[in-house]
Chains A and B, each alone.
Chain A
């Protein structure tokens, strides 16, 4: 697959997957997604098509899976993060991640947010950074008087915002979010969406979502993945990528039309 040519200067992560295997199972093929600076890029598609897999490729979270193999490249800051000389742990310190299920650590709210700062042996005032991150995550007002309480004592929506605060406390360049709202009620979802639009001014965000309205509301660019069963397997691939407006209002591919049409007609 040809991944060159179309990368402007504003591309932060240039993800180009030729083949991706879990053991002998080919999960994703031919997927090229350029993620642009200070934009929100959404991945949509049916369940099992490999959205999470592609997202986890971007900060090498798949490396934890035994049997994971990858051919292609993911350029970040001018270098391929899959180059043998690059440490996966270092990559994850620059590219933060928020998961589907809120997963705060079983420690105080303060320590949750300070976790990454301590990992990176942050020299400045940890307390200031914690406060800043909680404010950016729109959680400060709700927890400022109980920072020493356990992170698990918060509601689901608050926990998810705590996880966002934890992820942005170390100022990562990019924030990956895998269905961050699927465990939340509409009000919390709204809050997180507003938060994403707010965070966009500082960070670059890639988000996986099942909620097409959500993708339409927040994403600048959208990639549609689909499952190819023609070779007997279930291999995901990128069908169409482009401006969200174009993807949702004027999709070019039949699969995209069917998928989006099913949701909006």
Chain B
């Protein structure tokens, strides 16, 4: 008997290893198959409509089940327009919140207050900055847990009445600006965009915060050591390193915005219009689908399947462009 501690793996351990690898691999394969299955099924169901309407489907603007004219250009426009605007707003506030949380700005402020009243070494109060930061982070993440329909109701009963006077004033005074071209009569692009940006905020904030926290502290130290102010450090050194993570967050959020259904169906106005005005009602692909499925006849189902295929394609293209841009960002950032 040799009394080495190191022993070769037993039969059992080897079997575990094989089983574990098998489970992981088949889960991965299954997921891929599932995606393929969904795409194929939708394509097959969309086939009749594709044959009948062809490219006209995405280039024409009428949607009339009675005359059997179907075109989804306004919905494509509405989907991209609302998502894009929501993304701008959501990214701005989301990244700002992420900086606020990752840089300990709140903690520093509270600490300064505590110091002013000479309580900073109090064992309970000195925990306060970190605790409060944790609470705010959780609150923002909680935004993701609010059901879509609740956002929709909030938008209809609270947001729209709240912003309407201001919107109509803008339209009356600055109506020549295309974005304010029409009055807000109820649901419309702006309420949809506001709610959508709130819905994507937690995604952007959470992922951007992780990216910012992951920036090596030694870079921060280097910047402070050079005599950079806090903002110079954040803008010139920390944000560029975190670009990749932030861009990932934005793409994920864009995907979510493109597909968001319930809240938009309630808020966007479901009008077949292409307009740059923020106050005009519009429509999106997802809410078109949601609104039309309940009373769709067998033929119409095919048309709706075609529309969902288009939505899928848009999401896919956005993701590919995003991945490509990420790769570019890596090239510029110089690795890491």
Decide: B335 and A152 in contact? CB cutoff 8 A.
yes
Decide: A96 and B228 in contact? CB cutoff 8 A.
no
Decide: B226 and A96 in contact? CB cutoff 8 A.
yes
Q: Does A39 reach chain B (CB closer than 8 Å)?
A: no
Q: Which stretch, B15-23, B24-32, B151-159, B232-240, touches the partner chain A? A: B232-240
Chain B residues, CB < 8 A from A103: 216, 218-219, 221-222
CB-based nearest B residue for A63: B224
Q: Does B336 reach chain A (CB closer than 8 Å)?
A: yes
Q: How many A residues touch the partner, as a band?
A: 35 or more
Q: Does A123 reach chain B (CB closer than 8 Å)?
A: no
Within the complex, the shortest CB–CB distance from A153 to chain B, in Å, comes to 7
Interface string of A60-81 (1 = CB under 8 A from B): 0100101100000000000000
Q: Does A86 reach chain B (CB closer than 8 Å)?
A: no
Q: For the complex, would chain B's binding face be called helix, strand, loop or mixed by DSSP majority?
A: helix
Decide: A116 and B227 in contact? CB cutoff 8 A.
yes
Give the residues from 18 to 61 in chain A that come closer than 8 angstroms, CB to CB, to chain B. 23-24, 59, 61
A23-B121, A107-B240, A152-B335 known; A92 vs B222 contact (CB < 8 Å): no
Within the complex, the shortest CB–CB distance from B226 to chain A, in Å, comes to 5
Q: Does A167 reach chain B (CB closer than 8 Å)?
A: yes
A66-B111, A67-B120, A106-B240 known; A116 vs B221 contact (CB < 8 Å): no
Q: Does B297 reach chain A (CB closer than 8 Å)?
A: no
Within the complex, the shortest CB–CB distance from A171 to chain B, in Å, comes to 13
A89-B229, A163-B222 known; A107 vs B111 contact (CB < 8 Å): no
Decide: A152 and B334 in contact? CB cutoff 8 A.
yes
Q: Does B333 reach chain A (CB closer than 8 Å)?
A: yes
Q: Does B126 reach chain A (CB closer than 8 Å)?
A: yes
Q: How far is the CA of A150 from the CA of B336 in the complex (A)?
A: 11
Chain B residues, CB < 8 A from A116: 226-227
Decide: B107 and A106 in contact? CB cutoff 8 A.
no
Give the residues from 74 to 131 in chain B that come closer than 8 angstroms, CB to CB, to chain A. 104, 107-108, 111, 120-121, 126, 129
Q: Does B225 reach chain A (CB closer than 8 Å)?
A: yes
Decide: A97 and B121 in contact? CB cutoff 8 A.
no
Q: Does A1 reach chain B (CB closer than 8 Å)?
A: no
The residue from B107, B108, B227, B334 contacting A107, defined by CB atoms under 8 A apart: B334
CB-based nearest B residue for A67: B120
Decide: A105 and B126 in contact? CB cutoff 8 A.
no
CB-based nearest B residue for A24: B121
Q: Does A173 reach chain B (CB closer than 8 Å)?
A: no
Q: Does A189 reach chain B (CB closer than 8 Å)?
A: no
Chain A residues, CB < 8 A from B335: 106, 150, 152-153
Q: How far is the CA of A67 from the CA of B115 in the complex (A)?
A: 9
Within the complex, the shortest CB–CB distance from A225 to chain B, in Å, comes to 21
Chain A residues, CB < 8 A from B222: 99, 103-105, 163, 166
Within the complex, the shortest CB–CB distance from A110 to chain B, in Å, comes to 12
Give the residues from 69 to 125 in chain A that come closer than 8 angstroms, CB to CB, to chain B. 89-94, 96-97, 99, 101, 103-108, 115-116, 119-120
Chain A residues, CB < 8 A from B58: none
Q: Does B223 reach chain A (CB closer than 8 Å)?
A: yes
The residue from A89, A91, A92, A106 contacting B219, defined by CB atoms under 8 A apart: A106
Interface string of B269-294 (1 = CB under 8 A from A): 00000000000000000000000000
Q: How far is the CA of A167 from the CA of B225 in the complex (A)?
A: 9
CB-based nearest A residue for B225: A97
Chain A residues, CB < 8 A from B247: none
Q: Does B241 reach chain A (CB closer than 8 Å)?
A: yes
Central interface residue in B107, B121, B224, B226, by most chain A CB within 10 Å: B226
A99-B221, A101-B218, A105-B219 known; A92 vs B334 contact (CB < 8 Å): no
Within the complex, the shortest CB–CB distance from A243 to chain B, in Å, comes to 29
A23-B121, A152-B336, A153-B334 known; A105 vs B223 contact (CB < 8 Å): yes
Chain A residues, CB < 8 A from B225: 59, 61, 92, 96-97, 99, 167
Give B contacts to A, CB under 8 Å: 104, 107-108, 111, 120-121, 126, 129, 216, 218-219, 221-229, 232, 236-237, 240-241, 333-336
* Contacts A/B (CB < 8 Å), 30 sampled: A23-B126, A24-B121, A61-B224, A66-B107, A66-B108, A67-B111, A67-B121, A89-B229, A92-B224, A93-B226, A97-B225, A101-B218, A105-B237, A106-B241, A106-B333, A106-B336, A107-B334, A115-B223, A115-B226, A115-B228, A119-B227, A119-B232, A120-B227, A149-B334, A150-B333, A150-B335, A151-B334, A152-B334, A152-B336, A167-B226
